[in-house]
Amino acid sequence: MAEAQTLPDANIWDAVWLNVNLATMNGPGYGEVPRGAIAVRDGRIAWLGLQDNLPSTAHAHVEYDGRGQWLTPGLIDCHTHVVYAGNRSDEFEDRLKGVAYEEIARRGGGILSTVRATRAASEVELLTASRARVASLLAEGVTTLEIKSGYGLDTDTEARMLRVARAIGATMPVRVATTFLGAHAIPIEYKGRADDYISLVCNEMLPALARERLIDAVDAFCENIAFTPQQTARVFDAATALKLPVKLHAEQLSDQGGARLVARYRGLSADHLEWLTDDGIQAMATAGTVAVLLPGAFYFLRETRLPPVQALRDAGVAIAVATDCNPGTSPMPSILTAMNMACTLFRMTPEESLAGTTRNAAAALGLSTEVGMLAVGKRADFALWTIDRPADLSYMLGFNPCTAVVNAGKLRAPRS
């Protein structure tokens, strides 16, 4: 894309993109504005509409010719575990020989094997390993990224993970939202003493990390192989006391009533949800809790039970889609792949899958006023694509048509 013109003294807009088809994700469908234009100022969207309706007085310091490409909101990956050390392809091999994920976890593998590797890694090693995965996401137009802790399970390592997440946001062109997932697994030194570990999470880790401003939200893994609803509620009470929003890994492998629980705390999201039942759906609808679906984990675990997409639609629950990028159940740093899988595996429509990585993903992070759609006043985060129609983003598999990304009004190449 060429810089067309620079005006010397213009003081209205910093930049304008001309000859673009906008998928604003604002309004019905994709919120399409064909033959559109979009202008930014001070990192925000200052104007958008049909190019023919550009005000005749409009000036911009820089004009870009979009050459008929599609322009969408920057994509948002609202559920990831991209910060970790080590590698679990050995367990992938074991699972292919028939060993169950829960069995690997019981043997001290699974999450705990990543905990060992992460505890042993320095901050620099962790940052280097994580940056490569983040770069893969950014190349596909991601401009906002949630990153969870949860592979430290002690105060120092949880802090190190969250500092690395903050460093990613400070040094790479992406906005990072951090989530404290201290209640991800029971660390080896607390084996058989889950309640004591939860006390550590609530009384020591959470306040210390919140004081360092490392936590934007608090998550837990409510599951047979992890924490009970009662233990999860203790974590949520501690988070609520610190005025931190909550979310939950809920109903991934069994029905624990997790969605109902997180809705009771007006949680931002309930994530996974293959085993979600009707009362959980109703509770989420009432609370405005977003359903975050993670088809990558469903795929890698070769699950067969589908999340209740139609019932979520019927209840009016907003559905987001994310990668769950993690070394055990979703080694997949690709948001476009997650969007394709949301359609092929979960039977979502391409329109729902794009809403799931823009507008609804923003809601899942509590960032709806800032990002997730193209509208005047929102942060100027967007992506340009050489596609014929927005549905192509979900339709193609293993293909990246992203040509440029704009973060807070600043243009970058997808791989930069």
Residues that bind ligand DI6 (CB under 6 A): 81, 110-111, 114, 184, 221, 249, 252, 297, 324, 326-329
Query: Which residue, 273 or 284, is less far from ligand DI6 as judged by CB?
Result: 273
What, of ligand DI6, Fe ion, none, does residue 245 touch, CB below 5 to 8 Å by kind? none
Pick between residue 107 and residue 213 the one whose CB is nearest to ligand DI6: 107
3-state secondary structure of 416: coil
219 binds Fe ion (CB under 5 A): no
Question: Are the beta carbons of 412 and 173 closer than 8 angstroms?
Answer: yes
What sign does the dihedral 284-289-290-295 (CA atoms) show?
A: negative
Q: Report the residue number, 51 or 114, with the smaller CB distance to ligand DI6.
A: 114
For ligand DI6, the closer CB: 47 or 221: 221
Q: How distant, in Å, are the alpha carbons of 70, 137, 176, 384, 386 from that of 400?
A: 13, 11, 22, 11, 9
Nearest-approach distance from CB 72 to ligand DI6, in angstroms? 27
Q: How far is the CB of 365 from ligand DI6 (least distance, A)?
A: 18
| Residue 162 CB, nearest approach to Fe ion (Å) | 16
Is residue 146 near Fe ion by the rule CB under 5 A?
Answer: no
How many residues bind Fe ion (CB under 5 A)? The answer is 1
184/260 with CB nearer ligand DI6:
184
Helix (H, G, I), strand (E, B) or coil at 95: helix
Taken in order 109, 306, 249, 336, the sign of the CA dihedral is positive
Q: Give least dist CB 84 to ligand DI6, A.
A: 7
Q: Pick the closer one to Fe ion by CB: 165 or 402.
A: 165
* Residue 329 binds: one of Fe ion, ligand DI6, none (C-beta under 5 to 8 A by kind): ligand DI6
d(CA 327, CA 330): 6
Distance CA 97, CA 118 (A): 26
Smallest separation, CB 133 to Fe ion (Å)? 14
| Sequence-ordered list of residues with C-beta below 8 angstroms from that of 386, at least 6 positions apart, any chain | 69, 401, 403
The least distance separating Fe ion from the CB of residue 269, rounded to whole angstroms, comes to: 11
Distance, CA of 206 to chain centre: 22
DSSP tally for the chain: helices H, then strands E: 16, 16
User: How far is Cα 69 from Cα 135, in angstroms, rounded to an integer?
Assistant: 23
80 contact, one of ligand DI6, Fe ion, none, CB 5-8 Å limit per kind: none
SS3 content of the chain, % helix, strand, coil (to 5): 35, 25, 40
| 39 or 250: CB nearest ligand DI6 | 250
Closest-approach residue to Fe ion (CB)? 324
Q: The sheet that has 217-220: what strands, in order across it?
A: 75-77, 142-148, 175-183, 217-220
Residue 308 zone, left/alpha/beta (φ > 0; ψ -120 to 50; rest):
beta
Binding mask 191-210 for Fe ion (x = CB under 5 A): --------------------
Q: How far is the CB of 245 from ligand DI6 (least distance, A)?
A: 18
Comparing CB distances to ligand DI6, the nearer of 100 and 241 is: 100
Least distance from ligand DI6 to the Cβ atom of residue 300, Å: 9
Determine contact, residues 407/173, Cβ cutoff 8 Å: yes
Rounded to 5 degrees, φ, ψ at 156 are -65, -45
Neighbours of 100 (CB within 10 A): 12
Smallest separation (angstroms) from ligand DI6 to the CB of 212: 24
Q: Find the shortest distance in angstroms from Cβ 148 to Fe ion.
A: 7
Residue nearest to ligand DI6 (CB): 328
Nearest CB to ligand DI6, comparing residues 258 and 308: 258
For residue 114, the partner it binds in ligand DI6, Fe ion, none, with Cβ less than 5 to 8 A by kind, is ligand DI6
For Fe ion, the closer CB: 181 or 371:
181
Query: What phi and psi values does residue 233 have, to the nearest 5 degrees?
Result: -60, -35
Residue 324 sits in the site that holds Fe ion (CB under 5 A): yes
In SS3 terms, 170-197 reads as HHCCCEEEEEEEEECCCCHHHCCCHHHH
Using DSSP's 3-state secondary structure scheme, residue 46 falls into strand
- Partner from Fe ion, ligand DI6, none binding residue 110, C-beta < 5-8 Å depending on class: ligand DI6
Q: Residue 114 corresponds to which tokens in the numbers above?
A: 């990543």
Q: Which stretch binds Fe ion (CB under 5 A): 13-21, 47-55, 261-269, 319-327?
A: 319-327
Question: Using CB under 5 A as the criterion, which residues of the chain lie in contact with Fe ion when the complex forms?
Answer: 324
